[in-house]
């Protein structure tokens, strides 16, 4: 089973949302909303701290890993091919001479990579490698370049396509594929593998998951973890990523998720939309037709309506405001926004909510100012 869904959002249950905690107040900077880590077979567990696979290659240089293993012994640089894997399995943080932590210096990584490719412990390999993803700064490179690994991950993904119907997708299967997605996210976020990942069109494999609409947790989790992969791709602004995504029609998928998925999925989906809008090509794309513009603003408006009934609006509102503000950079969109901007953004409904968020307050003020100015 999945661990607590609702509390995941907003650090409610002491769960690390990743992305360095609350987003900064700098309107220009965005931290990617965290995505919880699927935890494999026994999903009754708490999502581990360290869970969100976010964003940035935060190198976890602590001497403890997520299993709480902590032997403080960094002396074993074996790397001798897995025979002593059992002996060294509890020694996850091998530090090389330069202080960097290389995945292949840890025989456990080698062991699990072999298992992932050849079995028989593929499922456990997915889990173990996912747990290790933040310990090494080069796990993504190892995953990408190890023979058979990407094939194996894609195979995990493709094999659940026939099960994407309510009642057919078991918790266990959903967890398993989420663990594979977490490893894909690792590859998608690393600067050395990101472009290769994109050029191989691997994000397309996620679309069947993003395209599901079931509200069952198994499906929510698949959508959320898939969004996490896309979120990792858009995180560092890259025109190539945006151009690729626009060609795939990701926007309507994000909009649907923003309309009807869990709050956490909504947050990642709007993060992706915001990143698309911040790109000049993305903004032009959305503003190219009235249908697109209205599709986006209708969903944003609905979200604003729902914010007032849910507590507290948290990150969604920040993203909503920034999406509107960015839309107002397009003159035609600005003209229309004067008409369709929700009254609740004009009438101080959110003053209290935004009290401590200087960045969002400033963005909202700027938006209202822009809309009040005359445009030709």
Instruction: Single out the segment in contact with ligand TRP by CB under 6 A; choices: 22-30, 201-209, 248-256, 368-376.
Output: 248-256
Taking Cα atoms as reference points, which of 281, 199, 196 lies closest to residue 243?
281
d(C-alpha 106, C-alpha 85), whole Å: 9
Assess 89 for contact with ligand TRP (CB under 6 A). no
State both tokens at 248.
């795939």
Burial of 162 per CB tally in 10 Å (0-12, 13-18, 19+): exposed
Q: Which is nearer to ligand TRP, 254 or 307 (CB)?
A: 254
Q: Which is nearer to ligand TRP, 12 or 252 (CB)?
A: 252
Assess 300 for contact with ligand TRP (CB under 6 A). no
Q: Minimum distance between the CB of residue 281 and ligand TRP, rounded to whole angstroms?
A: 13
Q: Minimum distance between the CB of residue 288 and ligand TRP, rounded to whole angstroms?
A: 8
Q: What is the footprint of ligand TRP within residues 168-227 (CB under 6 A)?
A: none
d(C-alpha 145, C-alpha 160), whole Å: 24
d(C-alpha 218, C-alpha 167), whole Å: 10
- C-beta separation of 74 from 93 below 8 A: yes
Assess 295 for contact with ligand TRP (CB under 6 A). yes
Which residue in the set 252, 284, 298, 375 belongs to the binding site for ligand TRP (CB under 6 A)?
252
Cis amide linkage into residue 75, ω under 30° from 0: no
Assess 251 for contact with ligand TRP (CB under 6 A). yes
Instruction: Give me Rg for the CA atoms of the chain.
Output: 21
Going residue by residue from 273 to 292, which x/- string records binding to ligand TRP, judged by CB under 6 A? -------------x----xx
- Max CA pair span of the chain: 73
- Number of C-beta neighbours around residue 22 at 10 A: 15
Q: Which is nearer to ligand TRP, 128 or 330 (CB)?
A: 330
Q: Which is nearer to ligand TRP, 159 or 289 (CB)?
A: 289
Q: Minimum distance between the CB of residue 267 and ligand TRP, rounded to whole angstroms?
A: 19
Interface residues with ligand TRP (CB under 6 A) are: 249, 251-252, 255, 286, 291-292, 295-296
């Amino acid at each position: 089973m999945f661990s607590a869904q609702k509390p995941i959002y907003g650090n409610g249950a002491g769960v690390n949302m990743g992305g360095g905690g609350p987003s900064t107040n700098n309107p220009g900077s965005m931290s990617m909303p965290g995505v919880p880590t699927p935890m494999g077979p026994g999903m009754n567990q708490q999502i581990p701290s360290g869970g969100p696979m976010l964003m940035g290659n935060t190198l976890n240089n602590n001497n403890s890993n997520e299993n709480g293993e902590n032997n403080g012994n960094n002396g074993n640089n074996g790397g001798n091919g897995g025979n002593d894997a059992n002996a060294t399995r509890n020694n996850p943080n091998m530090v090389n001479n330069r202080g960097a932590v290389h995945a292949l210096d840890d025989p456990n990584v080698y062991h699990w990579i072999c298992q992932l490719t050849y079995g028989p412990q593929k499922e456990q390999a997915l889990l173990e490698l996912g747990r290790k993803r933040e310990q090494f700064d080069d796990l993504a490179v190892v995953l990408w370049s190890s023979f058979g690994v990407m094939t194996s991950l894609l195979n995990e993904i493709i094999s659940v396509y026939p099960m994407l119907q309510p009642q057919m997708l078991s918790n266990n299967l959903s967890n398993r594929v989420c663990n594979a997605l977490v490893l894909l996210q690792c590859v998608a976020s690393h600067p050395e593998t990101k472009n290769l990942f994109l050029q191989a069109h691997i994000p397309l494999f996620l679309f069947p998951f993003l395209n599901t609409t079931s509200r069952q947790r198994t499906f929510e989790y698949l959508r959320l973890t898939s969004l996490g992969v896309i979120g990792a791709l858009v995180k560092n602004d890259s025109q190539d990523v945006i151009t690729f995504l626009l060609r795939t029609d990701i926007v309507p998928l994000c909009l649907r998720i923003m309309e009807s998925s869990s709050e956490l999925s909504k947050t990642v989906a709007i993060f992706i939309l915001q990143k698309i809008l911040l790109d000049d090509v993305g903004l032009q794309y959305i503003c190219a037709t009235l249908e697109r513009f209205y599709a986006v603003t209708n969903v944003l408006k609905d979200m604003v309506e729902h914010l007032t009934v849910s507590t507290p609006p948290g990150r969604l509102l920040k993203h909503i405001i920034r999406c509107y503000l960015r839309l107002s950079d397009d003159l035609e969109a600005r003209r229309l926004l004067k008409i369709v901007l929700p009254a609740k953004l004009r009438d101080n409904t959110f003053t209290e909510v935004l009290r401590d968020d200087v960045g969002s307050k400033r963005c909202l003020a700027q938006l209202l100012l822009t809309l009040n100015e005359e445009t030709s």
